[in-house]
Structure 1
Amino acid sequence: MNAHRAELARWLQLLAAKGVQDLALVNCPWPRDVPLLATLFAVTTLTRLYLGMWKLPGTAALRSASFPHLRELGLGSFEMEQGVVDSLVARSPALEMLNILGCKGLRLRLVSQSLRCMQISCSRMEDVAVVKAPCLALERLIL
């Protein structure tokens, strides 16, 4: 995939320009430590985003990210530094569903006014702290 980074960047720019709402982006085949381009985090029209087998950018690269319409976020078999999922959730004020699949050693510290359902599957979590997520407390947390 590293050989196709320029093409991927171009595709992400085109998708952003066209106002794409649903996107599933999976890096196949291995390795899963290929860095995902930060360009993705400028696609503000997304309502559903599923990412698989990537290395997510660090929290510093996500400072300018904004997903005002994102309702579903799925992350599968990825590598990242601590705090990235928390940062993505914080930048997604409409997020209702969070799916995490195949993660090791993740610590979550969730703050969300809109999150209703979180599902964590086939993962070894170090810590999950639901700091402030009033709708999640009323709805579903599936481990």
Structure 2
Amino acid sequence: MSRKNSPRPRPAAVTETSPCPCGLEATYGDCCGGFHRGTGTAPTAERLMRSRFSAFAVHDAAYLLRTWHPATRPEEIDFDPRLRWTRLEILGTTGGTAFHTEGTVEFRAHYAVRGEEGSQHENSRFARVDGAWVYVDAME
């Protein structure tokens, strides 16, 4: 059973010098780790999507809640300790750049649970709130 919204250390598999879970060619510390620490904000909707995937991989509930649109944000996030996020594929984007206020990111997030592999496919909507990109919801 996981503790709700309590600070948790990153799973041991991801360190500041590990490859970033988001799939970009950088270390976690130089990539999504900076966003998670609050030393920067994602410049595009795609980078926010990547940083949120990494936040799920390292169990950073505070970052996920901070980057969720206030109108759709849940009160808390529970992580399944058996689930491990393994890889992110970005399938397409619309808008979501420095010149936009809205955007979408279609992705496939791969995971493993007790040795069984699976994936989640989603087309997510993003918007800017006070100048920062936030996740709104999944398009249907």
TM superposition score normalised by structure 1: 0.26
More helix by share: 1
TM superposition score normalised by structure 2: 0.26
For CA contacts below 8 A with separation 6 or more, give which structure has more relative contact order: 2
